[in-house]
Structure 1
Amino acid sequence: MVNTTKKTIDDKTVVKEYFNATGFERWRNIYGEGKVNKVQLDIRQGHQQTIDTVVSWLKDDGNLSQLSICDAGCGVGSLTLPLAQEGATVYASDISAKMVGEAAERIKQVMKNPRNIRLGVQDLESIRGSYDTVICLDVLIHYPTEDAAKMINHLSSLTKSRLILSFAPKTFFLTLLKRIGEFFPGPSKTTRAYQHKEEDIVKILQDNGFQIKRTGMTSTSFYYSRILEAVR
């Protein structure tokens, strides 16, 4: 008898393998300063807008240098570096060892022997510790809502007062773009991409004792990210 059961690979494994292989070079280039195509440049600019929004929120509060921050899913350190330069104590981690290695190299180029940054290779649910603020940007797009909920629940347990998230919002327009292949690259170039209803994410945060303080939206031709700041 032939076994026709298809072997499935969980999203976490897909993400880890992708960002330690073909995805690493692609996204290191997008998040860097090298030459990229028009779509990649648009994504780079959109991602930077999200970073700038979050950094401006934290700076506006006037106490950034006094904060301990967990940058969960730090990638190449695009957020970690400006936070550390402002004096925050940052623990940055990513599921991809290659991404963390690249973050370390970029930090060394800008900051000599930084004592306020620690780096680690971990998935979101393996992070431990207690932080004033936990931030998770452009990570939830890789996971369905039920898995994202578990991750948000865990991140909520790590923060004393604030959790900042970004995610691809689920709207009719963006769903249509995704379906016709104009929003996300093909499967050979990326991981699976998931959109989330904002009310679902807000409900998860509320269930963990948070209320929404600030919201933001980054919208370019190929990059869409809803940003929520939740506080206790």
Structure 2
Amino acid sequence: MATASYFERRSELETYFDRTAAEAWSRLTSDAPVGRIRATVRAGRERMRATLLSWLPEDLRGRRILDAGCGTGALSIEAARRGACVTAIDLSLTLVQLAQDRCPQDLGAGSVSFQVGDMTDPALGNFDHVVAMDSLIHYEAGDTVDMLARLAQRAERSLLFTFAPRTRPLAAMHTLGRLFPRGNRAPAIEPLREIDLRRRLARAERLDGWETGRSERIASGFYTSQALELRRP
């Protein structure tokens, strides 16, 4: 069940990516030159995207994929090039419009349908695989598990997602970030301990029939994120 904290954070993210960070995010996700810090983030995101894609079948023809929190669409495009029928959704109209502008006309056997909205909307339908790359990292642990449970209800084979692992550097940056005026900072990342997250997932009744699979952490300068696989036995 969606909580007040979930709706508050979702609103913050929508505002941040549509207004505050739109230009910076556009540059970060392009091949334009960026500073040293953002270059490490770009490299980390590229490695994470490659990791998640490697956990999907190489031949995705006939597979339906939900890119939950698609951003500027890089993962969606790569999946479509491998034959997938991708539904790509994000809260940010600005990012979705950018993704549509960047999407090639010829994707071979695959396709991408870009939409603006809530990734957990059941009206999106069912999918073979759901991928949520760095789109849950701003939510509290309880809200994250609730969102995963709702996404899992519409995934038939696997659910791949990332979370911010609780490390000392991330915890320090998280604490420091809260010292800045609210209007001058990005929505906070909520670091989670993997063991705690796994316990929460195991206790979630709506995730009965799912098991945790592969896990991989990507650390690249100022980017640290961890991928985790949920799959049906």
Q: TM-score interval w.r.t. the shorter chain?
A: 0.7 to 0.9
How does 1:147-166 map onto structure 2 within 5 Å? 147-166=143-162
The code of the aligned residue for 1:50 comes to M
The code of the aligned residue for 1:218 comes to I
Q: Kindly state the Cα deviation for residue 180 of structure 1 after the two structures are TM-superposed.
A: 4.3
Pick closer, same or farther for the CA change 1:168–1:187 going to 2, 3 Å: farther
Pick closer, same or farther for the CA change 1:114–1:161 going to 2, 3 Å: closer
Structure 1 outlier segments of 4+, above 4 Å: 112-115
The answer for the alignment partner of 1:4 in structure 2 is none
Unaligned runs of 5+ in 1: 1-8
The answer for the alignment partner of 1:5 in structure 2 is none
Which of 23, 27, 34 in structure 2 is aligned with 1:29?
A: 27
Q: Kindly state the Cα deviation for residue 173 of structure 1 after the two structures are TM-superposed.
A: 4.1
The answer for the alignment partner of 2:129 in structure 1 is 133
Q: Does 1:118 align with 2:118?
A: no
Q: Kindly state the Cα deviation for residue 218 of structure 1 after the two structures are TM-superposed.
A: 0.5
Q: Does 1:81 align with 2:77?
A: yes
TM-score, length-scaled by structure 1? 0.86
Q: CA RMSD in A?
A: 2.2
Pick closer, same or farther for the CA change 1:92–1:160 going to 2, 3 Å: same
Which of 68, 75, 81 in structure 2 is aligned with 1:72?
A: 68
Any conservation in 2 of the 1:92–1:118 contact (CA below 8 Å)? yes
The answer for the alignment partner of 1:220 in structure 2 is 220
Which of 38, 48, 51 in structure 2 is aligned with 1:50?
A: 48
TM-score, length-scaled by structure 2? 0.85
Length, aligned pairs only:
218
**Range with greater deviation from structure 2 (199-208 or 118-127):** 199-208
Any conservation in 2 of the 1:67–1:88 contact (CA below 8 Å)? yes
Q: Kindly state the Cα deviation for residue 137 of structure 1 after the two structures are TM-superposed.
A: 0.6
Identity fraction in percent:
29
The answer for the alignment partner of 2:167 in structure 1 is 171
The answer for the alignment partner of 1:11 in structure 2 is 9
The code of the aligned residue for 1:75 comes to G
How does 1:187-226 map onto structure 2 within 5 Å? 188-206=184-202, 207=204, 208=207, 209-226=209-226
Pick closer, same or farther for the CA change 1:39–1:187 going to 2, 3 Å: farther
- SS of the aligned residue for 1:15 comes to helix
Q: Does 1:97 align with 2:93?
A: yes
Paired with 2:195 and 2:152, the residues of 1 have a C-alpha distance of 17
Q: Kindly state the Cα deviation for residue 113 of structure 1 after the two structures are TM-superposed.
A: 9.3
